[in-house]
Amino acid sequence: MSSRRRMRLMISFLQTTFNDSIVKMCLDLRAVSVWARKEMTNTIRSFIAIELPEEITETIRKTAAGFRRYKLNIRWVRPENVHLTLKFLGEISQDDVEPITDALMAAAERTGAIRLMAQGIGVFPGIKRPRVVWIGVGGDVVPLREFQLCIEQGLEPFGFPREKRPFRAHLTVGRVKGNLDKNILLQAIERLGHLETDPFTARSVVLFRSDLRKTGAVYTKLMEVPFG
């Protein structure tokens, strides 16, 4: 066999081997991609919150209706979807539900029923750059903060980092969609912001699942833990 022919055979062999390796690598990457999509499909977008009674939901509905008269560029949260959020968890797996529930039970057994009320209106981060419209929470806010801190401490060992910002109890009722007249917004807050509801008693905490759909978010209870 001539040296030229041997060289061509060697080159052909190397090309075939290289191509096989590329094909194998592509198949491996495809398998990883399929696994990753499956894992993402199995995750649960979730948060921890206290449910609100109907009278608070009705107050939120009336407040949003009052704001709408000012024709501000705000997207209002459906009143039935408003909760007192204590911690947003993001995407979790089904295996995370049990340790999260254990942490909630440990925090809840040290907490009695909490008397709360809806109180005042404001915006985050401030009137100069408003992004979120909120209704404040009054009443037993000290035991509420202590309970929220217990949740943070209980979940940290399971890989859920503590929120860096201090907890400030509020109900998110609207989100600013773009530019708006801040003077008109301030007028609306001054006119509508003196609200204060009768107290209600929070007796449990809920782990919610959140499914984002074209029609809006749909919330489902995964677990409810009573206080005390």
- Give the catalytic positions in this structure: 83, 170
Token digits of residue 38: 């499956």
Looking at residue 166, what DSSP letter applies? P
Reading across the β-sheet that carries 200-202, which strands appear in turn? 74-76, 170-176, 132-139, 114-124, 200-202
Angle, helices 141-155 vs 97-108, to 10°: value is: 140
Kind and range of the H or E element at 90?
A: strand 84-92
Kind and range of the H or E element at 192?
A: helix 182-192
Angle, helices 54-68 vs 182-192, to 10°: value is: 140
